[in-house]
Amino acid sequence: MASLLHDPNVSHVSVPNQKSTTPRSTSFEVETVSTVPMQSNRSGESVVRSSSMSSSKDGVFLTWEDLWVTVPNGKSGSRSILGGVTGYARPGELLAIMGPSGCGKSTLLDTLAGRLGSNTRQSGDILINGHKQALAFGTSAYVTQDDTLMTTLTVREAVYYSAQLQLPDSMSKSEKKERADVTITEMGLQDAVNTRIGGWGAKGISGGQKRRVSICIEILTRPKLLFLDEPTSGLDSAASYYVMSRIARLDQKDGVGRTIIASIHQPSTEVFQLFNNLCLLSSGKTVYFGPASAANEFFASNGFPCPSLQNPSDHFLKTINKDFDMDLEKGLGGGAVPTEEAIHTLTKAYKSSGIFVQVQRQVAEICRQDCGAFEWKKSSHAGFVTQCLVLTKRSFVNMYRDLGYYWLRLAIYVALGVGLATAFYDIGFGSESIEARGALLMFVASFLTFMTIGGFPSFVEDMKIFERERLNGHYGTAAFVVGNTFSAVPYLLLISLIPGAITYFLPGLHKGAEHFLYFAVVLFTCMMLVESLMMIVASIVPNFLMGIIAGSGIQALMILGGGFFRLPGDLPRPFWKYPLYYVAFHKYAYQGLFKNEYEGLSFPNNVQAGGPATISGEQILRERWQMEIDYSKWVDLAILFGMVVLYRVVFLGMIKSNEKLKPIVRALLSVPSKKTTQVVVNPSVTPSATPLHGDQIQSQIQIRAQVPHVS
């Protein structure tokens, strides 16, 4: 790699040391010698970031070439969000992506991190160390634009649990704690450590503090490739500077070059000086990609000099933001040149500039280096058992503190239990109690378990956190399922025992501890089953409203086909009997509970209709309820348990296959680079869109010819 950095053919733009905080125009000269960009902060402390400084052999060289991202746009075709973006990011360097809101910054980061949504199509090459490599699940850290955090935890707990999950088992607990504390202090959160993060309904830490907690969690492991989407949003200019400088200085801890790509809205002059490279986007097109310090000169040389005493980044954004052109027309903006025209001039100037040629050369050069495929070390994570234990504990604490997860449900269940107990109080053993018992048990097996759906919104929040942590490779899906299952057990036991006892003993159901325990265990298992079912639903539908509707619909169908409202013999064969009756867990819950209740009891018979004076429970089960009494109630319970395991395995399988299938689907949907020019571009969105000039196509073809064949 040294040859790359000092290759006489590769010219570098020299960046003079900047000590002043006021913007000044930098000399834009192309040299053949690599110069270390050096910036200094207000106190004179130097912040050095350069690929030559750190050991780049361990680092990640990321290149992207002619990247297009399109989304369907009604019947008219597709709209391009990114239009032929080319660039690179190197170890030890901080690349800033800037541009007006909606220009495609997050899309570019998502594309590079391999996280584009399924409705998008992408084309172009993204190479890691010159190789086409999947970049997902723990291969990099990505601080997304939205903060997805566990709202019930305090700042310290959130970071500490994350440290336990992510850092290897070879580190002691105290070392992990120390790393968490150091990182919290680095992000200036020491005064908020014991404050809960808070969220919907409970105010906690501020938005800017949440941002910093998100960053803390992702930099704990000091990742080699770090994506940050708006890391400074919600922060004041001083906090922004400190946060960015600490991110930029991650290298200095262990001397390993880190590749950092951050999108940023409003960098102050000091923050701007921390950037090595700048990617300026407008409507998905590159207005500028090159050394941050040379951007001023680029704008000046193309007729848009930065006015003195103005922050250069403000100037760049003002020049290329066309969202408010209507105001300009009314004379409110005060600009001399319409923004559309300015963007067109700058994109054209950039494409024909030496900087663009240099970027292309740099990309080709990185691709040509045989750095070998990057090996992502998985062993540097906590082991499976540790992850399961930590996740169980974290989830237990979250369930304990989130009133809506179980406590509210417990209260409602107790209220319903009291309702059932009073409605069916002392049902006795008369002939009328035969029907009453059936109705009571049906209500317990259907509607009490149905209400488990109430915890779904909280589970969806858990899933969002899981998705973020999973994508960043904090832990595996199996550990999440284990953690979620075991942490829920104590609460579900409480819910099935307390309201269960009220519902069981006050009406006077079949006496005996074994009978009550069976009743409570079936209730517990059914609630677990509904939770498992909702987990599967959560992995399919995108939000909790749709999930609740879908989950309720599925359960209502199962209740209908369970063999109570329509006796098994009367169920229409297609669908209702085969397969629904056998698939619905309600069948096994009804049969188990009914057998538990009726077997061993006898009731007075309807003598007027003839026959013996009493009727046995077994007879009632067989004739009145049409139950399969040739096998024991324990078999029904075993089937219910088996279903819990099966549902959780299905959930695990769905997430795993989703992870495996997504890259394949994306690869199938992505257009090979050669077909780039066939991508339909909505001309109304990008009026200045000229996919590629002839000479640029030529130069790119040449570059591609140099790229080693990638697998």
Ligand X SMILES: Nc1ncnc2c1ncn2[C@@H]1O[C@H](COP(=O)(O)OP(=O)(O)OP(=O)(O)O)[C@@H](O)[C@H]1O
Where do contacts with ligand X occur on this chain (CB under 6 A)? 71, 81, 99, 101-107, 117, 119-120, 145
Q: How many Cβ atoms are within 10 Å of 244's Cβ, its own excluded?
A: 28
Nearest distance from residue 229's CB to Mg ion, in Å?
6
- Cβ distance to Mg ion smaller for residue 143 or 421: 143
CB of 226 to ligand X, least distance (A): 17
The DSSP code for 26 is: P
- Smallest gap from residue 238 Cβ to ligand X (A): 22
Given Mg ion, ligand X, none, residue 103, with its beta carbon under 5 to 8 Å by kind, binds ligand X
Binds 503, which of ligand X, Mg ion, none (CB < 5 to 8 A, cut-off by type)? none
Question: What is the footprint of Mg ion within residues 143-202 (CB under 5 A)?
Answer: 145
Output 99 or 507, the one with its CB closest to ligand X: 99
Q: Hey, what long-range contacts does 492-498 have (CB within 8 A, 24 or more apart)? A: 492/406, 492/524, 492/527, 492/528, 492/531, 493/524, 494/406, 494/410, 495/406, 495/409, 495/410, 495/413, 495/524, 495/527, 496/520, 496/521, 496/523, 496/524, 496/527, 498/410, 498/413, 498/414, 498/417
Quote the least distance from Cβ 233 to ligand X, whole Å: 9
Q: How far is the CB of 228 from Mg ion (least distance, A)?
A: 11
Q: Among residues 208 and 404, whose Cβ is nearest to ligand X?
A: 208
Least separation, in Å, of the C-beta of 115 and ligand X? 11
Instruction: Check residue 106 for interaction with Mg ion (CB under 5 A).
Output: yes
CB nearer Mg ion, residue 106 or residue 398: 106
Query: Token pair for residue 355?
Result: 């900087």
Q: For residues 98 and 306, which CB has a smaller minimum distance to Mg ion in the complex?
A: 98
> b or e along 560-593 (b: 16 or more beta carbons within 10 Å of the residue's beta carbon)?
bbbbbeeebeebeeeebbeebbeebbbbbbbbbb
Nearer to ligand X, 120 or 449 (CB): 120
Q: Which does 139 bind (CB under 5 to 8 A by kind): Mg ion, ligand X, none?
A: none
The two tokens of residue 614 are 């009493």
Q: Vertex 345, ends 341 and 348: CA angle to 5°?
A: 135
**Residues 660-699 as x/- pattern, contact with Mg ion by CB under 5 A:** ----------------------------------------
The CB-of-222 to Mg ion minimum distance in angstroms stands at 25
Report the residue number whose CB is nearest to Mg ion: 106
Q: How far apart are alpha carbons 405 and 276 in whole angstroms?
A: 47
Q: Which two tokens stand for residue 302?
A: 């193309």
Subset of residues 46 to 75 that bind Mg ion, contact rule: CB under 5 A: none
Residue type for position 248: A
Closest CA to 15 of 245, 295, 246, 268: 295
Q: Which is nearer to Mg ion, 263 or 293 (CB)?
A: 263
- At its nearest, how many Å lie between Mg ion and the CB of residue 144? 9
81 touches, from Mg ion, ligand X, none (C-beta below 5 to 8 Å by class)? ligand X
d(CA 37, CA 118): 39
Instruction: Report which secondary-structure segment, H or E, holds 226.
Output: strand 225-229
Residue 336: half-sphere exposure toward Cβ, Cα within 13 Å? 3
Alpha-carbon distance 497 to 586, whole Å?
Answer: 20
Is 282 a residue that touches Mg ion (CB under 5 A)?
no
- Which residue in 711, 689, 692, 688 sits closest to 701, CA to CA? 692
Please state the closest distance from residue 278 (CB atom) to ligand X, in A: 15
CB nearer to ligand X: pick between 81 and 534: 81
| Residue among 325 and 628 whose Cβ is closer to ligand X | 325
Strand partners, 228: 143, 262
CB-nearer residue toward ligand X: 119 or 174? 119
301 binds, among Mg ion, ligand X, none (CB under 5 to 8 A by kind): none
Nearer to ligand X, 110 or 157 (CB): 110
Q: How far is the CB of 102 from Mg ion (least distance, A)?
A: 8
> Alpha-carbon distance 195 to 127, whole Å?
42
How many CA atoms lie less than 13 Å away from 668 in the CB half-sphere? 6
Cβ 466 to Mg ion shortest distance, Å: 22
Residue 102 touches which of Mg ion, ligand X, none (Cβ within 5-8 Å per kind): ligand X
Q: How far is the CB of 5 from ligand X (least distance, A)?
A: 31
Question: Are the C-beta atoms of residues 257 and 295 closer than 8 Å to each other?
Answer: no
**Region from 26-34, 79-87, 99-107, 693-701 binding Mg ion, contact rule CB under 5 A:** 99-107
* In the complex, least distance from residue 218 CB atom to Mg ion, rounded to whole angstroms: 17
Q: CB atoms < 10 A from the CB of 3, how many?
A: 11
Total of residues contacting Mg ion (CB under 5 A)? 3
Cβ distance to Mg ion smaller for residue 110 or 297 = 110
Taking the complex as a whole, the smallest distance from the CB of residue 306 to ligand X amounts, in Å, to 22
CB 86 within 8 A of CB 78: no
Nearest of 299, 424, 406, 387 to residue 350 by alpha carbon: 299
Q: Per-residue x/- marks for Mg ion, 395-434, CB under 5 A?
A: ----------------------------------------
Distance between terminal CA atoms of the chain?
21
Q: Which is nearer to ligand X, 103 or 274 (CB)?
A: 103
The item of Mg ion, ligand X, none sharing an interface with residue 282, based on CB under 5 to 8 Å by kind, is: none
Q: Nearest to residue 311, comparing CAs of 73, 23, 509?
A: 23
For residues 420, 425, 428, 433, the Cα torsion angle rounded to the nearest 10 degrees is: -40
Write the binding mask 550 to 569 for Mg ion: x where contact by CB under 5 A, - elsewhere. Answer: --------------------
**Which C-beta is closer to Mg ion: that of 141 or that of 593?**
141
Which are the contacts of 623, defined by CB distance < 8 A and separation ≥ 6?
A: none
Q: Is 582 left (phi over 0), alpha (psi -120 to 50) or beta?
A: alpha
Give the nearest distance from C-beta 96 to Mg ion in angstroms: 13
Please, which residue, 184 or 215, has the CB nearer to ligand X?
Answer: 215
In the list Mg ion, ligand X, none, the entry touching 117 (Cβ below 5 to 8 angstroms by class) is ligand X
Please provide the DSSP assignment of 651-676 as one string.
Answer: HHHHHHHHHHHHHHHHHHHSBPGGGG
Rg for the chain (alpha carbons), in Å?
Answer: 32
Q: Any residues with CB less than 8 A from the CB of 137 and at least 6 apart, and which?
A: 470, 471, 473, 659
Residues near Mg ion (CB under 5 A): 105-106, 145
